[in-house]
């Protein structure tokens, strides 16, 4: 078991460049997603092909075949050049300011120093993080280091049927051994592993993985994503848990249960309190509450800051991927103004720095969408002119076609 020892002194292994020329997003240099039978370079890029995990076996060269796969190289090239790949449109992690990405790297380094108990492992992780940082600063497209963050989707099985969930309609029941084969290739330089689903605590792979992670063969930290409708502290207690991210998408029973179908708001609050107790035993555990903003719950953003802010850091996000869904607030220009008003109200209420910067970033995404809409409206006369021009040409071509047809018939 690798519980963090608060007495451990941080070890600084390398001096990194002060340069601020970071890519627009660092994920493709640091992260690997494992799930839905595929690899991935971030949680938003499943539309790109990164190779399948079923074909992965002990002899596979992970660095060559996965981490330098052409989809990784494509994302790195675009982001290093400050460009916006289409999968990144609307993602709040994409930044024009290298300083944001530098700050993220700094926080990874600080966390790794603080949270990894095993000194040898910590040294390897730090060296790997340093190599990743050098690589992104040199704008390398083909890299020599390994990811230091992994996220495992343990299966689609779930005790809820949330309205906006991208997992609900998928079937995925991975074999734990397929995932462990990959983890075995990565673990020596991994800082942490996210365990998610479906509801990881009830999936076969999630439970097997957590049991194996508790067994003492791995030294990385584990972050659990859960709906907190049910917990299993016997399973979790021996695992080196670094963070628990609990979904909480409504500040009232009515709204929460409308979105989280099958969920019970009172159970959520009870279990949040239980996780808070767990944090008392191990202060290194970060407790985070995740609120996905939809057209059903945006009005409760300020109330969520007040209610959930008492227990943990609240982080808001937009519905991903499904812009045709009317719950997806980024696809609802009619709600942009009321949403911004609610974000402003929440910004007045909350003092939590992370929540504030998160809300400011989300407001930025909405404001830029509003600007684009205004630009399009400003160009309305141009659009009309173009349509008239196209129609005129259409008539011209139709006449020409008729003449040609006449000549030949
Ligand atoms: C897929 S869930 C898995 C973990 C757990 N079942 C839960 O609900 O927390 C991980 C996170 O993704 C969020 N999520 C699900 N569908 C989403 C979507 N379409 N857009 C954005 N986030 C989504 C959930 O709210 C949750 O915070
Ligand atoms: S900006 Fe967002 S979508 Fe693009 S690579 Fe980074 S995390 Fe993925
Ligand atoms: S609890 Fe999580 S995985 Fe289950 S349906 Fe809801 S968001 Fe999806």
The per-residue pLDDT for range 91-121, each reduced to its tens digit, is 878 887 777 899 999 999 998 888 999 999 9
For atom 1 of ligand 2, which residue has the closest CA?
94
Torsion of CA 398, 399, 401, 406, to 10 degrees: 140
Q: What is the pLDDT along the chain (409 residues), one digit of tens a residue?
A: 333 333 333 333 333 333 458 999 999 999 999 999 999 999 888 778 898 998 788 889 999 999 999 999 999 999 998 888 988 887 878 887 777 899 999 999 998 888 999 999 999 999 999 999 999 999 999 999 999 999 999 999 999 999 889 776 789 999 999 999 999 999 999 999 999 999 999 999 999 999 999 988 999 999 999 999 999 999 999 999 999 999 999 999 999 999 999 999 999 999 999 999 999 988 889 999 999 999 999 999 999 999 999 999 999 999 876 566 768 888 889 999 999 999 999 999 999 999 999 999 999 989 988 887 665 555 555 555 545 554 555 455 555 555 655 554 4
Q: What is the pTM of this model?
A: 0.86
75 lines ligand 2 (CB under 6 A): yes
Q: Is residue 196 within 6 Å of ligand 3 at its C-beta?
A: no
Instruction: Please give the structure tokens belonging to residue 336.
Output: 């942009």
| Ligand that lies nearest to the alpha carbon of residue 87, given by its number in the listed order | 2
- 327, burial (CB in 10 Å: exposed 0-12, middle 13-18, buried 19+): middle
Dmax over CA atoms of the chain, in Å, equals: 94
Is there an atom of ligand 2 within 6 Å of 100 CB? no
Distance (angstroms) between ligand 1 centre and the Cα of 93 equals 17
- Work out which ligand 3 atom sits closest to the CA atom of 161: 5
C-alpha 155 to ligand 1 mean position (Å): 13
DSSP codes of every residue in 184-244: HHHGGG--EEEEESS-GGGSHHHHHHHHHHTTTS--SEEEEEE--SS--HHHHTTS-EEEE
Query: Which residue among 40, 92, 225 is best mutated to probe the pocket of ligand 1, counting the most ligand atoms within 8 A of its Cβ?
Result: 225
- State the burial class of residue 366 (Cβ atoms within 10 Å of its Cβ: 0-12, 13-18, 19+): buried
Q: Counting ligands in written order, which one lies closest to the CA of residue 84?
A: 2
Pairing relation of β-strands 31-35 and 38-40?
A: antiparallel
User: What is the 246 CA–ligand 3 centroid distance (Å)?
Assistant: 11
Which pair of tokens denotes residue 196? 């998610």
CA of 161 to the centre of ligand 3 (A): 6
By three-state DSSP, how is residue 15 classified?
Answer: coil
Q: Tens digit of pLDDT for each residue in 133-169?
A: 999 999 999 999 999 999 999 999 999 999 889 776 7
For residue 301, give both structure tokens. 């953003």
165-199 residue pLDDT tens = 977 678 999 999 999 999 999 999 999 999 999 99
Cα torsion through 59, 61, 66, 67, rounded to 10: 150
For residue 189, report the distance from its CA to the centre of ligand 3, in Å: 30
Q: Where are the beta strands (DSSP E) in 49-187?
A: 149-153
């Amino acid at each position: 078991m690798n519980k963090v020892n608060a007495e451990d002194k941080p070890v600084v292994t390398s001096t990194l460049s002060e340069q601020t020329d970071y890519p627009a997003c660092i994920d493709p240099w640091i992260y690997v997603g494992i799930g839905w039978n595929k690899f991935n370079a971030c949680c938003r890029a499943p539309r790109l092909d990164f190779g399948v995990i079923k074909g992965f076996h002990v002899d596979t060269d992970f660095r060559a075949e996965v981490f330098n796969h052409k989809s990784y190289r494509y994302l790195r090239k675009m982001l290093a050049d400050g460009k916006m790949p289409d999968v990144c449109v609307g993602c709040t992690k994409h930044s024009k300011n290298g300083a944001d990405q530098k700050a993220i790297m700094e926080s990874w380094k600080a966390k790794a120093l603080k949270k990894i108990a095993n000194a040898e492992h910590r040294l390897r992780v730090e060296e790997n993080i340093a190599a990743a940082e050098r690589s992104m600063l040199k704008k390398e497209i083909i890299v020599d280091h390994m990811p230091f963050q992994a996220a495992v989707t343990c299966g689609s099985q779930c005790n809820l049927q949330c309205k906006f969930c991208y997992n609900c309609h998928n079937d995925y029941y991975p074999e734990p051994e397929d995932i462990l084969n990959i983890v075995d290739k990565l673990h020596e330089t991994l800082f942490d592993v996210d365990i998610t689903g479906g509801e990881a605590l009830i999936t076969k792979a999630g439970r097997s993985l957590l049991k194996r992670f508790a067994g003492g063969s791995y030294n990385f930290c584990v972050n659990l994503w859960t709906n907190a409708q049910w917990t299993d502290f016997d399973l979790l207690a021996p695992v080196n848990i670094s963070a628990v991210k609990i979904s909480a998408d409504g500040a009232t029973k009515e709204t929460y249960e409308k979105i989280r179908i099958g969920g019970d708001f009172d159970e959520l609050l009870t279990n949040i309190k239980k996780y808070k107790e767990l944090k008392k035993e191990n202060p290194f555990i970060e407790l985070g509450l995740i609120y996905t903003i939809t057209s059903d719950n945006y009005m409760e953003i300020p109330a969520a800051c007040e209610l959930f802010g008492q227990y943990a850091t609240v982080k808001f996000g937009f519905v991903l991927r499904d812009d045709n869904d009317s719950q997806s607030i980024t696809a609802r220009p009619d709600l942009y103004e009321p949403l911004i008003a609610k974000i402003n109200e929440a910004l007045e209420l909350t003092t939590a720095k992370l929540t504030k910067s998160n809300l400011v970033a989300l407001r930025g995404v909405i404001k830029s969408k509003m600007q684009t809409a205004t630009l399009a409206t400003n160009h309305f006369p141009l659009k009309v002119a173009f349509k008239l021009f196209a129609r005129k040409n259409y008539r011209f071509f139709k006449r020409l076609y008729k003449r040609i047809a006449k000549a030949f018939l």
